Amino acid sequence: MIRRVIELLVLVALGAVWGWAGASAAWTFSGAMLGAVIWGVFDGLRAQRLLRWLNKADVTRSPRLSGVWGELLDRNRKLVKKLEKKAQNSDARLEDFLAAIQSSPNGVVLLDSAGRIEWSNQTASNHLGFDPQRDLGQYVRNMVRAPAFQAYLAGGDFTHEIQIDGQGVRPSQPSKISLQIHPYGKKRKLMLTRDVTAVLLAETMRRDFVANVSHEIRTPLTVLSGFVETMQSIPLDEADRVRYLGLMSQQAQRMQTLVSDLLTLSRLEGSPAPGPGEWIDSEELLTHVIQEAQGLTQAIAHPPHEIRTVAAPAFWVSGAKTELLSAMSNLLSNAVRYTPGGGRIEAGWRLREDGGGEFFVNDTGPGIAADHLPRLTERFYRVDRSRSRETGGTGLGLAIVKHVAQRHGGQVEVESTLGQGSRFVIALPASRVRQRVTD
């Protein structure tokens, strides 16, 4: 500030000296005023340069100013740098926040006061079927045409969530989306979505499971209760008594088998997957289940089945021995139960081209229609319920096989042709197989 005053005084003095040379007081005064005007013009130009820089606020290119204007420039430059750094930090936090929302398993859509899409994450666009970039600014009512959503949006009561059909992978596999709107700010809206297909499916499976278990247990209990009441109220000769007791024992065994399978499924679902520590000889596993199948066919088939082992180089399999035996035994016992007596059943292990291994069972049974194949491993799913009851099946065997295969990193594969037979495979990954080294 002192410098500006000195500059003003110097220019006024020079003007006065110039006027004094004119030997007149008027000239002296005019000269002093001219000096002041010149100072004002130059000072105004410096102020103008500062104002132009402030309009651009470009800290990389600033004018060279001295005096108070230079000090103002320097202070403003520091302030602009501070504000820019603050804005960059805010932008970085906003980007982190948006990235977190983007990776959320739930969908998020921001709507303006008119109901136009301001922003959405990819999850929401997948749920609702619009493009998160192309459809910005579009009215959400034009993007989501579900009647339930249109009524929900028009009604204005957002205290509850609704469910609409989602974008299913296939028409045969529709998805369900739960959606709720939360108003905020000045008539803006936050719309949250989540895929509840798995939840609804699990709930349906739970209801079906309880209904199926109740049905499966109620039938033998009804038979047992009937026989007990008969034996308590009617005198029976020895032959009838023996026959009734045999039927009661059969029904009790059926319930025991069902409970055993349920406990096996519960144990498989509630325990960690087996590690790679235990290596079992594939021939040992095969021999064990073949002997069981031969005993079963002698007991229930007339004439017995022809059960053959398909020869192949033996190898080591990693996993839980009891689980693998249970799964293999289930496949072979199913083949025995559903293949007519005298039919041929083949079983064995073989190495796959990808380095993995597979246990397979081929039979010459009645075969299975193609529309049943995708659901064979569901609990209690039966192609022929009456046939299953005749053979004593619980409807849980293939579900156990699927769980064992998945716990070992593998899968169940089924091929079948009506009237020709079926092929069931437990395929294991290469990490679960090790070839036997021969000397």
Q: Are residues 205 and 179 in the same domain?
A: no
Domain range holding 415?
272-439
pLDDT at residue 61, rounded to an integer: 62
Q: Are residues 69 and 94 in the same domain?
A: yes
pLDDT at residue 238, rounded to an integer: 85
- Helix, strand and coil percent figures for the chain, each rounded to 5: 55, 20, 25
Distance CA 238, CA 212 (A): 36
Q: Which two tokens stand for residue 42?
A: 């130059």
Give all strands (DSSP E) within 304-372, no chain letters.
306-309, 315-318, 344-351, 357-363
* Residue among 319, 321, 336 nearest 286 (CA): 321
Q: Are residues 288 and 266 in the same domain?
A: no
- CATH of residue 160: 3.30.450.20
Q: Are residues 360 and 239 in the same domain?
A: no
Q: Are residues 317 and 438 in the same domain?
A: yes
Torsion sign over Cα 70, 72, 75, 76: negative
Final residue of a structural domain among 45, 79, 98? 98
Distance CA 362, CA 174 (A): 34
Distance CA 349, CA 356 (A): 11
Q: Are residues 235 and 337 in the same domain?
A: no
Q: What domain count does the chain have?
A: 4
Q: Are residues 161 and 212 in the same domain?
A: no
Distance CA 344, CA 341 (A): 9
Q: Are residues 263 and 304 in the same domain?
A: no
Q: Which two tokens stand for residue 320?
A: 């839980």
Q: Are residues 10 and 136 in the same domain?
A: no
Distance CA 111, CA 183 (A): 9
pLDDT at residue 296, rounded to an integer: 86
* Residue among 237, 192, 213 nearest 101 (CA): 192
Final residue of a structural domain among 98, 128, 150? 98
Q: Are residues 372 and 432 in the same domain?
A: yes
pLDDT tens string, the chain, 439 residues long: the values are 555 555 555 555 655 555 555 555 565 656 566 556 665 666 666 666 666 666 665 555 666 655 556 666 666 667 767 777 777 777 777 777 777 778 788 889 999 999 999 988 888 888 888 888 888 899 999 989 889 999 999 888 999 999 888 875 555 556 889 999 999 988 899 999 998 887 877 777 777 777 777 777 777 788 888 888 888 888 888 888 888 888 888 888 878 878 888 888 777 877 777 877 688 999 999 999 999 999 888 888 888 899 999 888 889 999 989 899 999 999 999 999 889 988 999 999 999 988 899 999 999 989 988 888 888 888 777 776 555 455 556 678 898 899 999 999 999 999 999 888 999 999 999 999 998 765 5
301, 341 contact by CB (below 8 A): yes
pLDDT at residue 356, rounded to an integer: 92
Q: Which helix (H) or strand (E) covers residue 6, if one does?
A: helix 2-20
62, 48 contact by CB (below 8 A): no
pLDDT at residue 254, rounded to an integer: 79
Name residue 120's beta-bridge partners. 109
315, 436 contact by CB (below 8 A): yes
Distance CA 140, CA 152 (A): 12
pLDDT at residue 45, rounded to an integer: 66
Q: Are residues 156 and 222 in the same domain?
A: no
- CATH of residue 236: 1.10.287.130
Final residue of a structural domain among 237, 271, 305? 271
CA-angle at 350, arms to 344 and 351, nearest 5°: 160
CA 94 from centre of chain: 26
Distance CA 124, CA 142 (A): 15
Q: Are residues 265 and 276 in the same domain?
A: no
Q: Which two tokens stand for residue 247?
A: 């039927």
